[in-house]
Amino acid sequence: MAFPVDEKYIKETELKVEFPTEYKTKMIKNNGGELISDDYEFELYPFFDKSDKKELVELATT
């Protein structure tokens, strides 16, 4: 199960490249998961989330 991620963690990862807006929007809502098209299937690896672990546990149990 993937969790939302704060945009600041995505920006930390971008370095010298900027991810497409649609990709960032999807990852902010659901950090990780799959992307399936007619021709391809992609596994989207989550961004490292440095937020409070207690907050993540509360999010998972709601």
Tens-digit pLDDT string for the chain (62 aa): 567 778 887 787 777 888 888 888 888 888 888 888 899 998 988 887 776 666 666 666 66
Instruction: Give the count of beta carbons closer than 10 Å to the beta carbon of residue 12.
Output: 12
Helix spans in 1-62 (H) = 7-14, 21-29, 53-60
Q: Across the strands, what pairs with 42?
A: 35
Tokens of 62: 């709601």
Identify the pLDDT of residue 8. Answer: 81
- For the entire predicted model, the pTM comes to 0.56
